A and B are shown apart, each in its own frame.
Chain A
Amino acid sequence: DGGITQSPKYLFRKEGQNVTLSCEQNLNHDAMYWYRQDPGQGLRLIYYSQIVNDFQKGDIAEGYSVSREKKESFPLTVTSAQKNPTAFYLCASTQLTGVVTTEAFFGQGTRLTVV
């Protein structure tokens, strides 16, 4: 069954702790993205990556870090420097075919709460 999987579905973090959200895809997609969604708001881009060992900051990268050691994996770490991390996090992937953009597939999301 192909797709993009995020884990965990719910995550609780104490203030001052780093936490890592997992994102795995078996679609053989080149590009992967992390978005943050706050209640009643849109999808804001945190980081994105088009190839292994390379990634770019999005619009709200401060307090977050990522890695892309394997094509199928793009974990997101929420560091203690992120002052307001409580949100719904969505991972997505797309296939790159030169100049033609293709459909983005989303994971089921991780809801992170700071306690």
Chain B
Amino acid sequence: GENVEQHPSTLSVQEGDSAVIKCTYSDSASNYFPWYKQELGKRPQLIIDIRSNVGEKKDQRIAVTLNKTAKHFSLHITETQPEDSAVYFCAAPFLKFGNEKLTFGTGTRLTIIP
């Protein structure tokens, strides 16, 4: 079935340290892997994404890596800051009967400790 597993569900790191969140997906045909950040009471917003023809993508302090063989992708945040505290979601599209179903992971609550 179409499944995206995300770990850990909660993560606390000291300010300045790195944080890593991992996701695995079930459909080898999935070709797009975004990460969303949701601050308290707000809508999720895209922070970085990667396509299946690329192994790694960086944008300042955040990076995403993709291992298509193992069907997993990870979010890396370096030099964490208090404003990085939020819930992070990974997602993957699944093609079903010609329709694309965008499925999200269960989320990771990241807390940055000052």
Contacts and interface: CB of A to CB of B under 8 A. Distances in A.
Contacts of A109: 43
A102 to B, nearest CB: 8
B104 A35 contact: yes
A58 B93 contact: no
A90 interface: yes
Interface in B74-114: 89, 91, 93, 96-97, 99-107, 109
B100 A106 contact: no
Interface string A23-42: 00000000101010000111
Given A33-B102, A50-B99, A94-B102, A100 B32 contact: yes
B32 A101 contact: yes
Contact of A92 (B49, B99, B102, B107): B102
B74 to A, nearest CB: 17
Contacts of A96: 100
Interface residues of A, number: 27
Contacts of A106: 43-45
A29 to B, nearest CB: 12
A56 B93 contact: no
Given A41-B106, A56-B99, A96-B100, A90 B31 contact: no
A41 B40 CA distance: 13
Nearest to A57: B101
Contacts of B99: 48, 50, 56
Interface of B: 6, 31-32, 34, 36, 42-46, 49, 51, 89, 91, 93, 96-97, 99-107, 109
23 contacts: A31-B100, A31-B102, A33-B102, A42-B106, A43-B89, A45-B102, A48-B99, A50-B100, A56-B97, A56-B101, A58-B101, A59-B103, A94-B102, A100-B31, A100-B51, A101-B93, A101-B102, A103-B46, A104-B102, A106-B43, A106-B44, A107-B43, A108-B42
Interface of A: 31, 33, 35, 40-43, 45, 48, 50, 56, 58-59, 90, 92, 94, 96, 99-104, 106-109
